[in-house]
C-alpha cells in the first residue's frame, strides 16, 4: 500500500499525476457558498474559520477537468457539495465529460442554525456521483439516501469533516483493493484513513498546512494500529 501526501496547490500538484492513472476521485472541495453568505462560519463550535477558496469558481472547474484527465476509463468520481451550489457543480462536472449517475443525499443526525425565525434547519448535504465511462458498483445495491451522523466533539478535527464510515462506504462501492484513490482537497484526511483501512493506495493534497499535518498524524496512527494485528 502506497500513501502519498502533498501540501500545496492541488491544481499544480495534480498536473504531475499521469493521465489515466487513478481509479477513484473522492473529495470535499470548497462549496462556493461564500456567494450566498459572504462568510462560511459555524459559530456553534470551536471551528469558526473562513474556508480558503470558497469563492473561487475557476478552481472548481479546473479541478474537475484535472480529475477527468487523471482518471482511468470506467471509473468513478464523487464530489460533496451544497444544495445552494449543486447546479454549478453538476454543470461543471458534465462539461468536463463525466456522466452523472446519482445525486446522493447525506442525511445528518442534526441540522445547522441559519435563520432561526424564517428558515427550516438544513439537515443534509449532497454528493455528486459521476462516471468516466461506466463503473459498476461493488456489492449489494443500496439507495441514494444515506444516513450518517455528523462528526462532533473530540473526534472533530475540521469544521467540515465527513464521517469516516461514509467515506469508507464510497471507497468500497467504487474501487477494489490496491486501487489508487485521489483526494485533491483532503482536509483532515478522512479519505486517506479510509484508504488505509481498506487497503487502497492514496494520493492526498491539502493547501492548509495545519490540516496537512493533522492528516499525516492520523494516517501514521492508523498504520501503526493496523500493524499491531
Q: Render pLDDT for 54-67 as a digit per residue (tens, 0 to 9).
A: 567 999 999 999 99
**Other CB atoms within 10 Å distance of the CB of residue 36:** 11
Position 43 scores a pLDDT of 42
CB–CB of 3/201 below 8 Å?
yes
**Cα 64 from chain centre:** 12
Position 94 scores a pLDDT of 98
Residue numbers of the chain with a pLDDT score lower than 70? 32-55, 112-114, 152-159, 227-229
Domain residue limits at 47: 3-227
- Report how many domains make up the chain: 1
- Name the grid cell of 22: 487513478
Phi-psi label, residue 53: left if phi above 0, alpha if psi -120 to 50, beta otherwise: left
Q: Which residue has the cell 456489492?
A: 139
Position 35 scores a pLDDT of 39
Please state the length of the chain: 229
Strand segments (E) across the chain: 3-7, 22-27, 71-81, 99-107, 124-132, 145-147, 180-183, 201-206
What are the tens digits of pLDDT across the range 71-107? 999 999 999 999 999 999 999 999 999 999 999 999 9
The structure's pTM equals 0.87
**CATH code (residue 60):** 3.40.50.150
CB–CB of 206/187 below 8 Å?
yes
| CA dist., res. 39 & res. 30, Å (int) | 12
Where does 142-208 have alpha helices with state H?
A: 164-174, 190-198
Phi-psi label, residue 221: left if phi above 0, alpha if psi -120 to 50, beta otherwise: alpha
Amino acid at each position: 500500500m502506497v500513501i502519498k501526501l502533498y501540501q500545496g496547490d492541488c491544481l499544480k500538484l495534480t498536473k504531475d499525476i499521469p493521465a489515466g492513472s487513478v481509479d477513484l476521485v473522492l473529495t470535499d472541495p470548497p462549496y462556493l457558498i461564500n456567494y450566498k453568505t459572504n462568510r462560511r462560519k459555524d459559530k456553534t463550535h470551536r471551528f469558526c474559520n473562513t474556508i480558503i477558496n470558497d469563492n473561487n469558481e475557476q478552481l472548481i472547474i479546473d479541478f474537475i477537468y484535472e480529475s477527468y484527465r487523471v482518471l482511468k476509463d470506467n471509473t468513478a468520481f464523487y464530489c460533496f457539495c451544497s444544495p445552494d451550489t449543486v447546479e454549478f457543480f453538476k454543470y461543471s462536472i458534465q462539461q468536463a465529460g463525466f456522466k452523472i449517475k446519482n445525486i446522493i443525499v447525506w442525511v445528518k443526525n442534526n441540522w445547522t442554525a441559519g435563520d432561526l425565525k424564517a428558515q427550516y434547519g438544513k439537515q443534509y448535504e449532497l454528493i455528486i456521483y459521476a462516471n468516466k465511462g461506466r463503473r459498476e458498483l461493488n456489492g449489494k445495491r443500496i439507495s441514494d439516501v444515506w444516513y450518517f451522523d455528523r462528526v462532533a466533539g473530540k473526534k472533530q478535527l475540521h469544521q467540515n469533516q465527513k464521517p469516516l464510515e461514509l467515506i469508507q462506504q464510497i471507497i468500497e462501492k467504487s474501487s477494489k483493493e490496491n486501487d489508487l484513490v485521489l483526494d485533491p482537497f483532503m482536509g483532515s484526511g478522512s479519505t486517506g484513513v479510509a484508504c488505509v483501512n481498506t487497503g487502497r493506495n492514496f494520493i492526498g493534497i491539502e493547501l492548509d498546512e495545519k490540516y496537512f499535518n493533522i492528516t499525516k498524524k492520523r494516517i501514521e496512527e492508523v498504520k501503526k494500529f493496523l500493524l499491531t494485528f
